[in-house]
Amino acid sequence: MSKRLLLTLFAGVLMAALDIAILGPAQPALRSELAIGPGGASWLVSLYVLANLVGTPLLGHLSDRHGRKPIYLLSVSLFAAGSFGMTLGHSLTVLLISRALQGFGSGGLFPVASAVIGETIEPARQGRMLGLLGSTFGIAFLIGPPLGGILLKFASWRWIFALNIPLSVAVLVLAARSIPSRRPRGGSALDIAGLALFAAGLVLLAIGLSGISPNQPGWGLAHPQVWGPLAGSLVLLAALPSVERRATSPLLSPALVRNPVLRRVFLLGLGAGLGEVGVILLPDLAVQAMGMAKDKASFLLLPLVLGLTVGAPLSGRLLDRIGARPLVLLGALLQAGSLGAFGLFPTTTLLYDVAGAGLGVGLACLLAGPLRWLLLRHAPEENRAVAQSLLSTTHSVGQVATAALLGAVAETGIHGIGHQRALAVAGALSLLLLIPAWLLPGRQKA
């Protein structure tokens, strides 16, 4: 793999990751300037997630059918168009449409980049490159909030999104020159029915689960705005297997569904989403249990972010030497132990330093390289990008599903007691990840 190609893939994923990390500081200024209420601001986040859920499998499927290069260029272009709309938009409608475009386009960047690595680099170095690619998320959360604060102090919140435009143009130029043009082996047919059912089912699932919240008085499984989408999701996803059996080029091919290694990888991706939801609870725990100001509580996550940033490339290097199974086992143990420590021990800065760093390394072992490395080895070549997309999708579903559960538990006590209970539950559930991790293939070297 050329350095220019690696830079292209790295820059594209970093661009999307930064857009998530940098939005937090921009929201108060954005709401104030455009007179947007809390509901509208929350939709700027929700629409990004929902569009990403739809875009990830669709763009991955298109990549397998029509090649990596055109779909990567399309993904970056959609993200750039959304950023342009966020820069110039002066109404909530325009901002929502633009944010959805950003989420949809970003859905193709990481899966397609992972598939490109699988096709352009020798197996003995794939783990290292996947680790470097995974480290972009830690880097984004290290530099994103400070960068957003600087831009807000000396310029407008619009510059947070305007910076994406020249960066997108640079990535497009690099991608056009460096990503190989290869004719895929898979068929050219597009599984429209399968994609529509899968995407609609996931969106309804996300909407239904997000409604199970203690912040919605009187809501719960009995509320029609919760059980309605959940029931619709169940119907659509239950109909998916019969539709896929008749498809010429199915999104969920038998090779993906029947392979036990792939099923375990997707289950582990679901569990890694649980770990990230636990991270979201940590600043609130510091505020409630330690009386810390909200703007200072986020700094307690620096050891966690450093653990992720350092752990991702390190796990990638180890991956090429020892294989995935020991790293995934370590990641599951660290996630379970760290979340459990936050739930069981007194809340102190020392706890945030030690358990936070452990959780960061654990998430790096689960998210950065090992699981995607396994997909490159066990998914058929004609379904590589779809497999990578499904891992991203299961991870997002894990976040949405466990956010509802842990959010409800967090509301059961005051002064941080509820948050500790939620983190203890997250730690206990994370122990279950040891089962699929143990059943992964043994010391398979690259």
Could you give phi then psi for residue 195, rounded to 5 degrees? -65, -40
Indicate if 207 and 235 belong to the same structural domain: yes
Q: Model pTM?
A: 0.82
User: DSSP readout, 152-199?
Assistant: HHHS-THHHHHTHHHHHHHHHHHHHHHS-----SS-S---HHHHHHHH
Residue in 271, 296, 275 with CA at minimum distance from that of residue 284 = 296
Q: What is the mean pLDDT of residues 60-71?
A: 87
Indicate if 426 and 286 belong to the same structural domain: yes
Band (357; pLDDT cuts 50, 70, 90): very high
Q: What does the alpha-carbon distance between residue 320 and residue 142 come to, in Å, rounded to a whole number?
A: 27
pLDDT at 41: 62
Which CATH number belongs to the domain containing residue 286 in this structure?
A: 1.20.1250.20
Per residue in 131-159, pLDDT tens?
A: 888 788 778 777 777 777 777 777 788 88
User: Which of 16-25, 31-40, 259-268 comes out lowest in average pLDDT?
Assistant: 31-40
Counting the structural domains of the chain, the total is 3
Give yes or no for residue 107 having a pLDDT over 80.
yes
Indicate if 176 and 268 belong to the same structural domain: no
Indicate if 238 and 164 belong to the same structural domain: no
pLDDT at 276: 83
* Three-class HEC string of 227-291: HHHHHHHHHHHHHHHHHHHHCCCCCCCHHHHHCHHHHHHHHHHHHHHHHHHHHHHHHHHHHHHHC
Q: What is the mean pLDDT of residues 379-399?
A: 83
Indicate if 15 and 34 belong to the same structural domain: yes
281 with 347: CB under 8 angstroms? no
User: Which of 22-26, 43-47, 361-365, 378-382 comes out lowest in average pLDDT?
Assistant: 22-26
Report which DSSP code applies to 433. T
C-alpha radius of gyration, the chain, whole number: 21
Indicate if 309 and 209 belong to the same structural domain: no
**Mean of pLDDT over the chain:** 83
Could you list the residue range(s) of the whole structural domain that residue 223 is in?
Answer: 192-247
Residue in 105, 110, 115, 85 with CA at minimum distance from that of residue 97 = 85
Give yes or no for residue 356 having a pLDDT over 50.
yes
Per residue in 288-316, pLDDT tens?
A: 888 887 667 778 888 998 998 888 888 88
Indicate if 141 and 7 belong to the same structural domain: yes
Buried-state track 27-56, b at ≥16 Cβ within 10 A, e below 16: bebbbeebebeeebbebbebbbbbbbbbbb
Per residue in 227-238, pLDDT tens?
A: 788 888 888 888
Indicate if 233 and 268 belong to the same structural domain: no
Band (213; pLDDT cuts 50, 70, 90): very low
